[in-house]
Each structure stands twice: as structure tokens, then as C-alpha cells.
């Protein structure tokens, strides 16, 4: 089957749902394509027990429809995956978006026809869609990293992957379980599994910082208060650095005495969003000595939570500055190490040798387990594009063009791939923010841009090399003045073997990014070549 439309939107997560809704409102003929059987994206695929959002639920929701935000009632301070999925499904129903999508439809490629200025998008089902514009709402964190542990396929027990969790509940009671990975997913899963497993082995290479979520049900009074201030508050937060608009001390961390600083951090730890640490003092993400004050505070907290001092020391991150990896929220993670059935396996101390048919072996010992759970993260930003053949000008494949490091202009378009918009792409703030706020900003900008191009009769838009180079160079310069300057993490592509080490998220902050994007649009889409 081949179909002609104005726009193809790939992905039915929060970005794709909003893009389809906006573009349809403009009167365009829009085709959504999604490989999952339903909407939700991240929150559809990741059904593992314990998954909660790290942004408060009243903030992790759309702001573009006041009736929607007034009528939806979140039940917990940090929403669980089932509740967020229910919200995505509610949005799809309320705005009648599902009908615009073909589900169970994986996009395998897209080829740009230079003569017609159109894309032909092909799917695994053998269908094709010809469109002037394509919006890749495929998610910055939607392509799980391939399992690259030696011997993985030899394991005779049960293998589970966090990002493709079974739809029926998994019973760990009486089982010996290994969880590989200690990012947010590993932390949430281990906390859950420790409750019933006979033995739990948590395999850690790089520890994460984690702070208590202090999650709790939301009262009707609290919700009413939040809803009363929604429009003004959300407007304010959109222009903040992280999309959350959290308060800061307005001075250097080194200006306060140790006691003052500890009291200030303690208040954040007990009562505020953990993201407050990032903007707490003005220099914590810039000056190493100031940054260390947070690590020192959180290290002391961790030592209070874990009874065995040797285990506590292994759990404390020491190889990277605070803030160069996303801080996790937990509901009793560190305390699981006070249980006799839980064992931390430090892979820095004794590296993993291999998975075996009955368990795994490190350089120090052999372990027998019944279940292995992989919580090994994502091929962030670029993974979904590696899985497709996106062929632009001069038959160039985006996968090859990005093999030495993904580059875009404003996270939205890559040189040589005209008319192909990316939502929260490389060099956009996305993963360094309340991602919902970043999605809304990016989708609104892209759909406004398509409205402009359509109204003005433009048939082609392409980022210029000069604009892209300047954008990437600016991001690299910002890196040099922040604690990210020497960091290695998935933000820089370091978690995937063979992936280039480049700074993937934009480091300028959500508000400045929005201002830069708005300025470019107001200036007739400066840095893009437009053609009729
Ligand atoms: C486990 C996990 C926890 C997270 N927690 C938080 C959090 O606490 N706070 C926060 O702000 N953000 C969080 N995120 C980030 C989260 O991804 C975003 O908040 C948001 O949900 C992304 O929405 P999206 O629509 O951009 O992408 P996604 O939700 O990833 O949706 C992309 C969609 O595109 C589809 N797709 C991809 N490739 C193809 C293809 N070739 N063909 C067809 N369809 C395709 C996918 O199936 C998917 O449905 C988390 C991410 C993960 C993975």
C-alpha cells in the first residue's frame, strides 16, 4: 500500500501525540506510525515493577490544554508507570488521536526524493507513505542498548529486559536473581525484587547518586492549589533552566559555612524536588570545589542509610562530578543492602568475566542464579536512527553521517536531511530537563514551523552547515565551562561500544534554548535554507 500525505509523524509517545494533534488542527493530512500496539512510548514499553517518574506528576503532564490539565487528577507525588500510561491513553481518547496512527507499524527507512522535495517512508509491513515533511518523534531514550555481556545467550534460566518487560506479573519469590545495571531502572527494579527474592545480586559498574523520593498520595486540597496556579506557574517554568523553575540560593556554595550549607542541603533532601540540588548554589555545576559540597553531603546521607561501611563506600559515586549523570529517586534502595538476601557485586573491583548457563562469573567468583535482569540502558539520541535507513541528499545514510558523532542544528534538523524534523534530538536539552517541558517546546516549534512553511508556500527546509557547526561548537564551549568538561557517560555516548564521544544533550538549559529557538523563528528561520 502507498499513500500520499502532508506529514508523517513517527512515534506515539508524548511527542508524537502532540505533533499529530497540532498538525491535524492546522488542516494538514497527517499519518502517525508507531511500532507498538498502542500509544505511550516510554511508558508503554517500560512496564517493569517500581517504575516511577522522577518529575512531580503535576509537572510531568501536558500544559497545552487547560481543560485537560484541570480535569486530570494525579494520585501520587511521583506518578507510577501505569498511571502515566493511563494518562497518555486518556489524551489519545480525549483528542481522538488514535485514528491518525497506524500501530504495530515499524518504520524501517525513509528516502528523500530531491527532485520532488518529498520523503518516502517505508515500514516493516511493506507499506510506504510519501510526505513533504517528516517528524521523527522516536524518543531520545527508546532504543535499548544491545546486551553485550559475554555468554548472555548461554544462560539457561529466565532472562528479562527492563525495556521489554512481560505484560503479566513476574514472581521473584524464592528465586535467586541478578540485576545488571545501577542506573535509575536498576535501582527501581532492585528495590522491588529485594522484597521477595531469595537472593538478589546487584551488579554495579558505575554507581548512581540516589535520593529518597519521599513519594506520597496527593490530597484534593493540594491538587486544587496546584491547578489554580497552573497557567502562570507553567509559563514561568518553561523559561527556567531545567523546565522546573526550582529555587536556588543565588550565591556560591563556598560563601556559606559548612553548617549553613548542610542545613540548606538538608531542606532540599527532606522537602524539595531532588532536581533542586542542580541549581542550588550558582556554581555547583561549574566549579569543582562547589560541586564537591553536594557529593560530600549526599555521601554522608548514604553512609547513614547503609549499615556496612565497606558496602556504603562502594555505592558512593567517586568517578564523576555530581550532575554529570541523572540523579535517581528511590524508595528504599540503599536500605536493601542492610538485608541479608541482597549482595552488591562491584564489577570495578572484580570485572564480569561471562554469563554462564547457571549464572555468571566475575574475576573473583562464580554465582548461581535463576533469573538475570538487564537494566543496561539505552543507545540515547541515536539508537532509533541506527535501526532505520534514513537516506538524505546524495544518498547519505543518517546512521553513517552520525557515526563520528551526531550533529544537528538546535536538536531539530541535521544537514543533508531536508524536511526531516527530529523532536528532542542531539544538542537539545531533552534528557537534562523535565522532558515533558522540552517535548512541548520542541513540538510546538516544529509544528509552528511547518505551519509557516505551508502558509508561505515553501517546499524545502534544510539546516545550513554554518548554522549547525556554530550550534555544535557553542554546545562544546558550554561543556568546557561546566563540570561536564571531563565527564564520560551516556550523555556523551560512552555507554555504547564504538559510539563516538560527543556531547549529546544541549547544556545551555531549557529557557535559553527556548529563547534561541524563538529568536531563530522570528528571524525568518535563520540558519535554515528555505526554498519554494
Ligand atoms: C525507563 C525510563 C524512565 C524515564 N523516566 C523519566 C522521568 O522520570 N522523567 C522524565 O522527564 N523523563 C523520563 N524518561 C524520558 C522519557 O523518554 C520522556 O519523558 C518521554 O516519555 C519521551 O517521549 P517521546 O514521545 O519523546 O519518546 P518515547 O516515549 O520514547 O516515544 C517514542 C516512540 O517512537 C516509537 N518508535 C521508535 N522508533 C520507531 C520506528 N522505527 N518505527 C515506529 N515507531 C518507532 C517507539 O515505539 C515509541 O513509542 C524516561 C525514559 C525511560 C526509558
pLDDT tens track for 207-257? 999 999 999 999 999 999 999 999 999 999 999 888 888 889 999 999 999
Residue 306 near ligand 1, beta carbon < 6 Å: no
C-alpha cell at 518: 524563538
Q: Please determine, for residue 104, whether its predicted confidence score (pLDDT) is greater than 90.
A: yes
Q: Could you give phi then psi for residue 244, rounded to 5 degrees?
A: -115, -20
Residue 243 confidence (pLDDT): 84
Q: Nearest 5°: CA angle at 213, between 293 and 168?
A: 135
Confidence of residue 59 (pLDDT cuts 50, 70, 90): very high
Q: Which helix (H) or strand (E) holds 128?
A: strand 128-136
Other CB atoms within 10 Å distance of the CB of residue 67:
8
Q: Please determine, for residue 42, whether its predicted confidence score (pLDDT) is greater than 90.
A: yes
Residue count of the chain, please give it. 532
Distance CA(335)–CA(305), nearest Å, equals 6
Residue 87 near ligand 1, beta carbon < 6 Å: no
Angular region, 433: left φ>0, alpha ψ -120 to 50, beta rest:
beta
Residue 487 confidence (pLDDT): 87
Distance CA(223)–CA(42), nearest Å, equals 25
- Residue 378's SS3 state is strand
Q: Please determine, for residue 290, whether its predicted confidence score (pLDDT) is greater than 90.
A: yes
Q: Could you give phi then psi for residue 93, rounded to 5 degrees?
A: -70, -45
Residue 37 confidence (pLDDT): 97
* pLDDT, tens digit, 9 for 90 and up, residues 450-505: 999 999 999 999 999 999 999 999 999 999 999 999 888 899 988 988 899 999 99
Residue 411 confidence (pLDDT): 97
* pLDDT, tens digit, 9 for 90 and up, residues 16-36: 999 999 999 999 999 999 999
Residue 36 near ligand 1, beta carbon < 6 Å: yes
Residue 55 near ligand 1, beta carbon < 6 Å: yes
Residue 17 confidence (pLDDT): 98
Residue 247 confidence (pLDDT): 86
Strands 118-123 and 128-136: antiparallel
Ligand 1: centre distance to CA 2 (Å): 28
Q: What is the mean pLDDT of residues 384-393?
A: 97
Residue 244 confidence (pLDDT): 87
Q: Which atom of ligand 1 is nearest to the CA of 78?
A: 8
Q: Please determine, for residue 273, whether its predicted confidence score (pLDDT) is greater than 90.
A: no
Nearest to 109 by CA among 384, 378, 379: 384
Q: Which helix (H) or strand (E) holds 399?
A: helix 398-401
Distance CA(494)–CA(3), nearest Å, equals 40
Residue 137 near ligand 1, beta carbon < 6 Å: yes
Q: What is the mean pLDDT of residues 45-56?
A: 95
C-alpha cell at 178: 541478578
Q: Please determine, for residue 399, whether its predicted confidence score (pLDDT) is greater than 90.
A: yes
* pLDDT, tens digit, 9 for 90 and up, residues 182-201: 999 999 999 999 999 999 99
Ligand 1: centre distance to CA 41 (Å): 5
Q: Which helix (H) or strand (E) holds 20?
A: helix 14-25
- Among the ranges given (35-49, 106-120, 401-415, 489-503), the one the predictor scored with the smallest mean pLDDT: 489-503
Q: What is the mean pLDDT of residues 285-297?
A: 96
C-beta separation of 22 from 118 below 8 A: no
**Mean of the per-residue pLDDT values of the chain:** 96
Ligand 1: centre distance to CA 453 (Å): 28
Residues 6+ apart with CB under 8 A from 150: 352, 353, 354, 355
C-beta separation of 311 from 345 below 8 A: no
Q: Which helix (H) or strand (E) holds 451?
A: helix 435-456
Confidence of residue 274 (pLDDT cuts 50, 70, 90): confident
Sign of the torsion angle spanned by Cα atoms 269, 270, 275, 276: negative
- Structure pTM? 0.96
* pLDDT, tens digit, 9 for 90 and up, residues 129-141: 999 999 999 999 9
SS (H, E, C) 411-429: CCECCCCCCEEECCCCCCC
Percent with pLDDT over 70 in the chain: 100
Residue 167 confidence (pLDDT): 86
Residue 256 confidence (pLDDT): 96
Residue 34 near ligand 1, beta carbon < 6 Å: yes
Beta bridge partners, 329, equal: 211
Q: What is the mean pLDDT of residues 93-111?
A: 98
Residue 432 confidence (pLDDT): 87
Q: What is the mean pLDDT of residues 94-122?
A: 98
Beta bridge partners, 437, equal: none
Nearest to 436 by CA among 107, 164, 100, 64: 64
Residue 138 confidence (pLDDT): 98
Residue 246 CA, distance from chain mean position: 20
Mutation probe of ligand 1 site: the residue of 11, 373, 439 with most atoms within 8 A of C-beta: 11
* pLDDT, tens digit, 9 for 90 and up, residues 159-181: 999 998 998 999 999 999 999 99
Interior/surface letters 518-528, b for 16+ CB within 10 angstroms, e for the rest: eebeeeebebb
Ligand 1: centre distance to CA 268 (Å): 28
Q: Which atom of ligand 1 is nearest to the CA of 384?
A: 38
Residue with cell 556531547: 503
Distance CA(416)–CA(315), nearest Å, equals 45
Amino acid at each position: 500500500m502507498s499513500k500520499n500525505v502532508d506529514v508523517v509523524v513517527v512515534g506515539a509517545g508524548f511527542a508524537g501525540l502532540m505533533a499529530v494533534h497540532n498538525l491535524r488542527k492546522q488542516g494538514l493530512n497527517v499519518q502517525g506510525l508507531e511500532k507498538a500496539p498502542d500509544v505511550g512510548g516510554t511508558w508503554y514499553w517500560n512496564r517493569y515493577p517500581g517504575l516511577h517518574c522522577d518529575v512531580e506528576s503535576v509537572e510531568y503532564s501536558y500544559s497545552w490544554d487547560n481543560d485537560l490539565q484541570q480535569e486530570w487528577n494525579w494520585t501520587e507525588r511521583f506518578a507510577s508507570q501505569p498511571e502515566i500510561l493511563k494518562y497518555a491513553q486518556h489524551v489519545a481518547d480525549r483528542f481522538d488521536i488514535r485514528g491518525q496512527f497506524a500501530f504495530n507499524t515499524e518504520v524501517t527507512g525513509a528516502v528523500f526524493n530531491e527532485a520532488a522535495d518529498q520523503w518516502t517512508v517505508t515500514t516493516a509491513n511493506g507499506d510506504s507513505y510519501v510526505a513533504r515533511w517528516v517528524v521523527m518523534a522516536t524518543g531520545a531514550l527508546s532504543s535499548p542498548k544491545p546486551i553485550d555481556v559475554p555468554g548472555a545467550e548461554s544462560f539457561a534460566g529466565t532472562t528479562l529486559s527492563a525495556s521489554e518487560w512481560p505484560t503479566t506479573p513476574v514472581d521473584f519469590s524464592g528465586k535467586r536473581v541478578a540485576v545488571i545495571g545501577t542506573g535509575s531502572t536498576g535501582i527501581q527494579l532492585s528495590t522491588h525484587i529485594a522484597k521477595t527474592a531469595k537472593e538478589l545480586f546487584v551488579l554495579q559498574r558505575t554507581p548512581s547518586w540516589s535520593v529518597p523520593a519521599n513519594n506520597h498520595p496527593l490530597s484534593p486540597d493540594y491538587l486544587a492549589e496546584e491547578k489554580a496556579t497552573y497557567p502562570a506557574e507553567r509559563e514561568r517554568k518553561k523559561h527556567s533552566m531545567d523546565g522546573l523553575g526550582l529555587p536556588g540560593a543565588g550565591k556560591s556554595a563556598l560563601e556559606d559555612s559548612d553548617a549553613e550549607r548542610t542545613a540548606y542541603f538538608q531542606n532540599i533532601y527532606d522537602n524539595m524536588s531532588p532536581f533542586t540540588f542542580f541549581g542550588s548554589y550558582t556554581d555547583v555545576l561549574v566549579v569543582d570545589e562547589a560541586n564537591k559540597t553536594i557529593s560530600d553531603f549526599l555521601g554522608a546521607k548514604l553512609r547513614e542509610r547503609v549499615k556496612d561501611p565497606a558496602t556504603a563506600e562502594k555505592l558512593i559515586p567517586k568517578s564523576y562530578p555530581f550532575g554529570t549523570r541523572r540523579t535517581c529517586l528511590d524508595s528504599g534502595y540503599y536500605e536493601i543492602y542492610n538485608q541479608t538476601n541482597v549482595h552488591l557485586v562491584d564489577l570495578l573491583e572484580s570485572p564480569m568475566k561471562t554469563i554462564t548457563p547457571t549464572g555468571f562469573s566475575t574475576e573473583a567468583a562464580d554465582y548461581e542464579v535463576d533469573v538475570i535482569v538487564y537494566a543496561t540502558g539505552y543507545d540515547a539520541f541515536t539508537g532509533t536512527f541506527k535501526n532505520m535507513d534514513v537516506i538524505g541528499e546524495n544518498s547519505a545514510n543518517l546512521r553513517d553521517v552520525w557515526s563520528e558523532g551526531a550533529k544537528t542544528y538546535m536538536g531539530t534538523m541535521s544537514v543533508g536531511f531536508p524536511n526531516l524534523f527530529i523532536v528532542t534530538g542531539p544538542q537539545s536539552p531533552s534528557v537534562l530537563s523535565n522532558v515533558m517541558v522540552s517535548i512541548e517546546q520542541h513540538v510546538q516549534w516544529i509544528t509552528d514551523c511547518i505551519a509557516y512553511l505551508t502558509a508561505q508556500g515553501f517546499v524545502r527546509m534544510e539546516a545550513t552547515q554554518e548554522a549547525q557547526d556554530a550550534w555544535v561548537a557553542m554546545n562544546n564551549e558550554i561543556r568546557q565551562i561546566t563540570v561536564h568538561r571531563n565527564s564520560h557517560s551516556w550523555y556523551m555516548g560512552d555507554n555504547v561500544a564504538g559510539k563516538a564521544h560527543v556531547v549529546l544533550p544541549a547544556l545551555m538549559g531549557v529557557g535559553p534554548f527556548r529563547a534561541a529557538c524563538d529568536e531563530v523563528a522570528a528571524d525568518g528561520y535563520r540558519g535554515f535554507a528555505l526554498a519554494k
